[in-house]
Amino acid sequence: MNAPVVVRELAKTFYDEGRGEIKAVDSISFECHEGEIFGLLGANGAGKTTTLRMLSTILAPTSGTATVMGHDVVHDPEGVRKNLGFYSATTALYPRLTTRETIEFFARINQYPSNRVPQRVEYLIHRFGLEKYADARIEKLSSGMKQKVSVARTVAHDPAILIFDEPTVGLDVLNALDVQETIGELRAEGKTIIFSTHIMSEAERLCDRIAIIHGGQILATDTLAGLREITGQHYLEDIFVLFVKAGQETI
Amino acid sequence: MVLNWYDVRVLYRRELRSALRDRTIVTNSVLLPIFLYPVLIWLVYSGVIFISGQDEELKSRIMLKDIPEAHIRLKQAFEKDKSIVLSSSPNPAEDVRLGLLDALVEFLPSKSAVGIDGNFKIRVTFDESRDRSDRARSRIGQKISSYRDDFLEQRSVESGISREQFQNFWIDDQNVSSNGQVSAFMIVLPIFFIIMLAVGAMHPAIDSTAGERENSTWETMMSAATSRTSILFAKYLYVATMSFIAAFLNLFAMMASMGTVLAPFLQRGRGSSSLRIPLASAPLILIGAALLALFISAGMMILASFARNYKEGQSMVGPFYIALILPILFLQTPAFEFTPRIALIPVANVMMMIREGIQGVYHWRSIAVTLAVECVSIIVALRIAVRVIQHEDFVIGTYNGSFGKFAKERLLGK
């Protein structure tokens, strides 16, 4: 059986008036296995967000292919999005909708069977402990609560694949831990998760496999134990630096 | 580019629900149309009435000189008028110059070849540079004109001939207008109607494009499992709905306020004036408003979607708003008729069509041209929008520039 997410030689080039052509993602390949958290670990500007935007069909790849649950990101973008929940620090909520309306809207627009939407909404409100705030407008919620609603809207249509693009950016420690805990729970529910971060501790704590990405290229992909074995380093930070330095020389 | 009607309905409801909870949109698209312009018009009209009342209270100091016995009734007419005070002066012309007297009326012997008994000639001395004196001149003119009409009528009867035979060349006023035509407000209505269409569209257009970028909900929406065409279409329908609602709320508010608050003022000035739009014009006004709402919404959304925040959106849409209003202000003058040539000018053509519709006048050829021009304008605007959303940097919001720059670089390929 094919892996839920398959990426082959995926590349993205942008054109900038000042800098000319920029290879944001340079021919990367990886696969995500069912029920795992696959980490994309890289510094700012490494190409993580561009990769995830291509996977979520917001951007079209310049070359290469990617499939999500068998749907091609170029030829069947709606099929991809139907099977995917995309969450990032830059994806906000509609401030004037209530929690309930938000979850309902995203369930419907992401093609969750319409006759089952009310039950799904109630389930998610309960699942994320949002009962007290179900009818409060998003703009009135605390940032921690907004975070929970954001996760709830990401999984509103019960997608098999979830993408979390630097989900803890801008959050305080407690809220960040809360998000990490939720992601762990979602994995336990059988979701396949792609998790991008530049925070080593998060990757160490959550990811089943980690891809180190730098300069638009994937420098290594393995489990934490595997990476430790290859490099002889214990801390992910040291592993990361080692690969990046070696990668820079190669690049 | 697939349009999914279920998605459009879900997206449309979301847009509308958010909009009706936004203070700026509710103020501009609902409250402003209902209250602002009717209140403004009421204030302006009250002001005009007040000023004209002040003017009426102003007494004109007039001196009648050498009035013949035959025209003593004219003198009596002056005496009866409470706005006129008859004065006398040894040097009246000098007093007019000094402002001590407002006007001097002198009766001169008639030099007419046709000998009509009591025929008269009058010289009025006044100072045009003084409003008070000018006003006195106007009052004298009205009095004498009225007296002259009676005088000529009387002479024609005495001579045993008709007025037409007696006075070959004269003006016989006949008002053929319907009741709807008499009110100046009915002429101004289309302008407010179009302004309201634009005001109603402006904030929703900015909110649903630049506002989404500013709130970071744009990317959330773009990652939803629906086509971009459905997203765009739902937003477009929503903006057009708000525009349409604003215009009609304003229209009804104006009609209601004119019918209740202004009617007494209008009747005072005109005698009778209807404040109703002919029912037969309603379909034409509805179609015109719908087409215009669609056109204005498309234009504003295209421009606003290049902005990264609300403020930028306002500055990008502003010139379009002015471009909409200017032609209708110029074409509002009665000299312009609703010809097929005028019907080629988008927006202004609908204004003219509605103006004539309100008056119960239908130039079908011009109406047909108008509808065709508006439909073409909408199609062009939508085609531009579809071409714009095909550009990825526009969709993810990394394109840095206005629609003008984009059109030059990408659409025209310069």
Mean pLDDT within B350-363: 84
Q: How far apart are CA B284 and CA B279, in angstroms?
A: 10
Q: How far apart are CA B349 and CA B100, in angstroms?
A: 54
CA nearest to B313, candidates B161, B175, B210, B408: B210
Q: Which residue of A has its CA nearest to B18?
A: A96
Residues A99/A86, Cβ–Cβ less than 8 Å: no
Residues in B closer than 8 angstroms to A97, CB to CB, are: 14, 17-18
Do A96 and B17 lie within an 8 Å CB cutoff?
yes
Q: Which CATH architecture has domain B55-166?
A: 3-Layer(aba) Sandwich (3.40)
Do A58 and B217 lie within an 8 Å CB cutoff?
no
C-alpha pair distances (Å), B333 with each of B126, B328, B339: 32, 9, 14
> What ipTM does the predicted assembly reach?
0.89
Q: What pLDDT is attached to residue B271?
A: 45
Q: Among A71-75, A210-214, B22-26, where is mean pLDDT lowest?
A: B22-26
Q: Any idea where the domains of chain B sit in the sequence?
A: 5-43+180-411, 55-166
Structure tokens at B319: 């010139």
Q: What pLDDT is attached to residue B110?
A: 66
Residues in A closer than 8 angstroms to B17, CB to CB, are: 96-97, 101
CA nearest to B219, candidates A130, A212, A193, A150: A150
Local confidence band at B180 (pLDDT 50, 70, 90 cut-offs): very low
Residue B384 sits at the vertex; the CA angle it makes with B383 and B385, to the nearest 5 degrees, is: 90
Q: Greater confidence, B253 or A76?
A: A76
Domains and CATH numbers, chain A: 1-77+162-171+183-251 (3.40.50.300)
Q: For residue A224, which phi and psi values (nearest 5 degrees)? A: -60, -40
Q: How far apart are CA B410 and CA B306, in angstroms?
A: 14
Residues in A closer than 8 angstroms to B217, CB to CB, are: 91-94
Within an 8 Å CB–CB cutoff, is residue A81 touching chain B?
yes
Do A58 and B11 lie within an 8 Å CB cutoff?
no
- In our burial notation (b when 16+ CB lie closer than 10 A, e otherwise), range B340-367 reads eebbebbbbbbbbbbbbbbbbeebeebb
Q: What pLDDT is attached to residue B272?
A: 45
Residues B145/B138, Cβ–Cβ less than 8 Å: no
Q: Among A202-216, B178-192, B265-279, where is mean pLDDT lowest?
A: B265-279
Local confidence band at B12 (pLDDT 50, 70, 90 cut-offs): very high
Percent of chain B with pLDDT over 90: 19
What sign results for the dihedral spanned by CA atoms B388, B393, B396, B398?
A: negative
Residues in A closer than 8 angstroms to B226, CB to CB, are: 78, 81, 109-111
- By Cβ distance, the residue of A60, A82, A114 closest to B392 is A60
Q: What is the pLDDT of residues B98-148, one digit of tens each?
A: 888 999 988 877 665 555 666 778 889 998 888 888 888 988 888 888 888
Q: For residue A23, which phi and psi values (nearest 5 degrees)? A: -90, 95
Do A90 and B396 lie within an 8 Å CB cutoff?
no
Residues A76/A120, Cβ–Cβ less than 8 Å: no
Q: What pLDDT is attached to residue B181?
A: 43
Does the pLDDT value for residue A112 go beyond 90? yes
Structure tokens at A138: 């998003």
- 3-state SS assignment for residue B36: helix
Q: Which residue of B has its CA nearest to A104?
A: B10
Which residue do the tokens 């000094």 mark?
B98
The distance of A60 to chain B (nearest Cα, Å) reads 8
Structure tokens at B49: 């009435």
Mean pLDDT within A7-22: 87
Q: What is the pLDDT of residues B261-305, one digit of tens each?
A: 666 655 555 444 455 677 778 888 889 889 999 999 999 999 998
Mean pLDDT within B49-68: 79
Q: Which residue of A has its CA nearest to B216?
A: A92
Residues in B closer than 8 angstroms to A86, CB to CB, are: 220, 223
CA nearest to B24, candidates B214, B191, B190, B193: B214
Residues found in chain A: 251
The side-by-side arrangement of strands in the sheet containing A161-165 is A84-88, A161-165, A192-197, A37-41, A209-214, A217-222
C-alpha pair distances (Å), A136 with each of A30, A91, A131, A155: 41, 20, 10, 20
Do A109 and B17 lie within an 8 Å CB cutoff?
no
What sign results for the dihedral spanned by CA atoms B203, B204, B210, B211?
A: positive
